Amino acid sequence: MNRNQSLRLLIYVRHHWHLLPFVMVSMIAATLLDLAAPWITGVILIDRVIIARDASLLPWVAFGLLGAVILRQVFEFAHRYFLALLTQRTIHHLRCDLYQHIEGLPVSFFAGTPVGDMVSRQVSDADAIEEGLKAFVTEAGVHLVMVFGVLGLLFALNVQLTLVILPFLLILAVVMHIFRRVVKGFSRQVRDSMGRLATLATETLSGITIVKAFAMERAELRRFSGTSQEILTSSVRLARLEGYYHVSVEMILIGSVVLVIWMAAPRVLAEQMTVGALVAYLGYLARVQEPLKGLSKANFRIQKAMGAAQRIFAVLDVATEDSKFTGTVVLQKSRGHLQFEAVSFGYRDDEPVLSDFSLEIHPGEAVALMGPSGAGKSTIVNLLLRFYAPTMGRILLDGLPLNGLDGRSLRQQIAVVNQDTFLFSTTVGENILYGKPAARQEEVEQAARAANIHDFIATLPQGYDTTVGQRGVALSGGQRQRIALARAFLKDAPILILDEATASVDSEAEALIQDALANLMGGRTTLIIAHRLSTIHHAGRIIILEDGRIAEEGSHQELLDGRGLYKRLYDLQALA
């Protein structure tokens, strides 16, 4: 096993160390009790009862065998129960840590990492590690105890024969080591392919309406089949390797048995070894083979788990936002005074999006940002939310640099209403509560009324408890947008960002949304990202961006009189 990954997994086991003694004691007891039967049968029943013709020991043989079986079942039950507690709590801890870490990763990470792959690591890779932990704690532990216990009894029965089979055990250990790295590599390939398959399935099912609209079902099936074929190929290679592995183990073990029989039979005939001792020895030799096979299988499962662990720890090793932004200043309630001072930024070093951008927005002021695609409008929002950090310059809120603020505190000062409204697959009420989880029902309804959506919600079958479907599929675009506005009302943040909040709705819905926006913007610092002129009439100042810089600035009429980029955009939309 990879030493670093093994140690990191054991750290998670250590958090639940109090369960380990129960697991180990019950495991050792059950294993040792399993060794009692061959000794009682061979040494006592055959040699001292049958051959010696002494029936007085027969009841003790019966009670001994029955007692060993009953006690073994008791300890076996305890072992399975405590092992389930240990593994489930460990994996739960790991899953929660991974989920929390993923939540804390920067937005730039998700820009280059498919969501389906993250889901695969969170679910199927964690399951594989659970299986590996069970194999490590149970199978490897049980089988090791069994191997050493049986070897001790074999030495007690016949030292010479036991010394003969030790080289076979050494050869078996070498074979296990050789196969270890190869298995881990193939397992990682299977896991990576499963991550790609999960990504493909997530994308296709999320965009199923587009797939159907373009009649691309067969094309998507070919993509899915191709990725699934990769999993099939890697899995077959892994199965073939597992077959070679088990055949090798079996041949080594059979060779040791044949050699023992070859050497022991003449000793029995020469009366140098009793029949009962030979029966007991062969019984224990058979018992040692099963745990050795079990160890080889456990090793196989553990290496598969290490392949999954590599993928999980690769995510856990990515630096979080908190490690990049170390600010600790907590804002109780911002005034909403924003300043961009000579800010430059690019998603790639060779492609700047903003260049020496400076802008001041006073508390309560509504400012609209316009410009062609790629001018930097959405980038300004990303920087304000601290999804990214400027490469040069700084951004201040109420005179405090953003990088000195606590990230959670900063985002609590900002409410965002996006063009592409995202609703969770839960109820209408819970989606609105996302703005303020501790709000009362009265506050939720008040926010819904302010967003002009309460009357519609009242007509739903379960009202605020009606499920909206995945991403709000059961609602129209205007209804989803007004629920998002209600969420912003409930949050009651001093800064409001409207990213083309009416772009995807009809005229009737837009009128309701515009009315709600007028109420929402009152007394708040508002940044409006606009592509259509109809969305900026609430703005007192309009900023025209071009090539990452401010090209024009002023009111609607001032910019029309200037006959610059704004005038050209206005004329184009008027013609449209």
Residue 233 has a CB neighbour count (10 Å cut-off) of 13
SS3 216: coil
Q: Name the residue with tokens 């260049």.
A: 355
Sorted by where each begins, the domain ranges of the chain are: 3-322, 338-575
Instruction: Determine the Cα–Cα distance for residues 20 and 469; give it in Å rounded to an integer.
Output: 44
Residue closest to 90 by CA, chosen among 139, 136, 28? 136
Phi-psi region of 53 (alpha: psi -120 to 50; beta: other; left: phi over 0): left
Distance of alpha carbon 19 from the chain centroid: 25
Instruction: Round to whole Å and give the CA distance between 553 and 530.
Output: 14
Q: Tell the residue number behind the tokens 């299988």, with chain if given.
A: 297
Residue type, 38: P
The answer to whether the 3-322 and 338-575 domains have the same CATH topology is no
pLDDT tens for 91-114 read 888 888 888 888 888 888 887 777
Rounded distance between C-alpha atoms, residue 560 and residue 544, angstroms: 12
Instruction: Supply the pLDDT for residue 540.
Output: 81
Task: Find, among 486, 444, 488, 480, the residue nearest to 465 by Cα.
Answer: 444
Q: Rounded to whole angstroms, how far apart are CA atoms 342 and 339?
A: 10
Q: Could you state, in chain order, the average pLDDT of each consecutive group of 10 residues for the chain (576 residues)? A: 68 80 81 72 67 71 78 85 84 85 83 77 79 71 69 74 76 72 69 75 69 72 82 78 75 76 73 68 68 68 78 85 77 88 87 89 89 83 88 90 87 84 83 86 88 86 83 76 85 85 57 72 83 71 86 82 75 64
3-state secondary structure of 314: helix
What percent of the chain is helix, strand and coil (3-state, nearest 5)?
A: 70, 10, 20
Please tell us whether the domain made up of 338-575 is placed in CATH 3.30.420.40: no
pLDDT of residue 340: 92
Classify the C-alpha dihedral 560-561-564-567 as positive or negative: positive
Answer whether 423's CB lies under 8 Å from 480's CB: yes
Could you tell me whether strands 495-499 and 525-529 are parallel, antiparallel, or unpaired per DSSP bridges? parallel
The span from the CA of 354 to the CA of 389, in Å, is: 12
> Which of 408, 321, 416, 358 has the alpha carbon at shortest distance from 548?
358
CATH topology of domain 3-322: ABC transporter transmembrane region fold (1.20.1560)
Looking at the DSSP bridge assignments, the partners of residue 238 are none
At 396 the pLDDT is 92
